[in-house]
Amino acid sequence: MRILCLASVFGLLGSAVSQPASADAYFSTELPVAKAGLLANIGPSGAKSSGAKSGIVIASPNTVNPNYLFTWVRDSSLVFKVITDQFTLGQDTSLRSQIDNFFTAEAALQQVSNPSGLVTTGGLAEPKFNIDGTAFTGPWGRPQRDGPALRSTALITYANWLLSNGNSTFVTNTLWPVIKLDLDYVSTYWNQSTFDLWEEINSSSFFTTAVQHRALREGSALATRIGQTASVGTYDSQAANILCFLQTYWNPTTGYITANTGGGRSGKDSNTVLASIHTWDINAGCDATTFQPCSDKALSNLKVYVDSFRSVYPINSGINAASAVAVGRYPEDVYFNGNPWYLSTFAVAEQLYDGLLTWQSVGSIQVTTTSLAFFRQFSPSIATGTYTSTSPQYTQLTSAIKTFADGFVEIAAKYTPSNGGIAEQYDKSTGAPLSAADLTWSYASVLTAGASRAGIKPASWGASGLTAPAKCVPNPGPQVSVTFNVQATTQFGENIFVVGSVDVLQNWSPDTALPLSATNYPTWSLTVNLPANTNIQYKYIRKFNGQVTWESDPNNSFNTPATGGFTLNDSWR
């Protein structure tokens, strides 16, 4: 029957049958489609993965507008966390060979020399590769530091299952060295600037920080379990520092998580919802320190994020303020003219499903001043307090929130084509699928939302009972000395400054740009310490009588070395 079901799924291509409206009906038909669509994008035998090496996940078979026929470490790791959960939880025992292939492929990718460096000099933060396992050498947003954390999390889940099933030798001798490379990278570089998961802003990112924290916590636990304790102290201390830093993204005045420390946007972003669901640990309850899905901060953030789209997309017109709407990456988005994303829409539903499962486990709902606005969407008269599972308020709230969550699924269902294929986006005016077709991450988002709605809980990762240190200890990571020299003729009173893509270079802020000295005029100079093994973009600017003049495009760019000093000799453009 299963084979017939999958055959019928692929046979739906071109069908005019409409997707069912209810969440129940949608998941019953879409889950097998999503599973088949996901597996079709994994090499070497996936139906749409031609040319991909074994274990390589293609982002999408799309090759034109946009070309997504690459493998991203982030996307691949999130996809294989889904596959690994299904295998280790006993849902699909046929998936073990896929996980082994993924491990082999990723272990090989770790060693590939790429524009971000070698395995020991920053190469682990390279975001994407060609599907034959070779380096992608074109221009891109580098580095992206969430990949090593997410990859280690997927592999740690597998390692823990292997240990529980008596295979400690393979874990210790084969899996652990690969996992340790990623964990050591996270421990060393977590506080360095990174491009966010949308590959647009180079700063610090809530999603990246959250998944880095998780990786080090469960990495420390795995190391202890297999007796590899040399790194445990470092992992634990850096995890504490990361957890401390994670708190700084919370904006108490406006009640939401600012997704990125740079970029000039509002910070209302699907990044934060995705972070909450990918760091869910039901044993942590509604803990706000780790921004668990049912925590008051995560719920307040969810309301602000969802509401920010109510007037942005025409397809949301006429929907009342307490109902689900189409949501996207962030309200200022202009990619493909700015549209809802399927994975963002499913993520909202999933956070709510996770919350419902956690409240059920805890046996109560706590309403605080922080989460009051969220809960008043469903019960306008609700007051702050704790409502046990036997109270009418608990029943009313959980029922209404379940309906609310299902509403996001039903919106995605409404705009899912009849063949069940899920693209990256759907048009903000018509709902028609847009951008990359058969996006593997979109299929993964269906599977994780459906699993949570069905009551399936991933293994705990150790989020329970954590306390953030009162004082954060930043980790600057490896630094190298860089001297900026620029030949620039100026008039009296005019000065030269440098600004660029990392924190030290003020994240492109002309107001706080670093001044250069004209000791050897007309050469202006400055020496600063910058992150090692990092691609740096920068420009010089002139300031005169309050006016700022920038160098002409394009940005200057260079890669800092692993050690030692570096000198740049430029001329003003």
Residues annotated within a binding site for substrate: 140
Catalytic residue among 199, 307, 332, 494: 199
* Active-site residue flag, 196: yes
Q: Which token pair is 176?
A: 């652990």
**Rounded distance between C-alpha atoms, residue 440 and residue 188, angstroms:** 30
> Where would I find the beta strands (DSSP E) of 505-555?
514-515, 517-520, 523-531, 535-544, 547-550
Largest CA distance in the chain: 83
**CA proximity to 500, closest of 144, 193, 126:** 193
- Residue of 106, 182, 184, 196 with catalytic role: 196
Backbone angles phi, psi at 385, to 5 degrees: 150, 180
Per-residue tokens: 349: 């539903």
Q: What is the secondary structure of 496-513 as a DSSP string?
A: EEEEESSGGGGGG-GGGP
Separation of alpha carbons 513 and 509, rounded Å:
6
3-state secondary structure at position 442: helix
Q: How many CB atoms lie within 10 A of CB 212?
A: 31
Do you find a cis peptide bond into 66, omega within 30 degrees of 0?
yes
Exposure b/e, 246-261, CB count within 10 A at least 16 = b: beebbbeeebbbbbbb
Paired sense of beta strands 547-550 and 523-531, if any? unpaired
Sole residue written with tokens 């060609």: 130
Of residues 354, 355, 367, 357, the one with CA closest to residue 393: 367
154: left (phi over 0), alpha (psi -120 to 50) or beta: alpha
Separation between Cα atoms, residue 434 and residue 2, nearest integer Å: 30
Type of residue at 451: A
Mapped onto helix, strand or coil, the DSSP state of residue 241 is: helix
Token digits of residue 571: 């001329």
Say whether 132 is catalytic.
no
Q: Which amino acids are annotated catalytic?
A: 196, 199
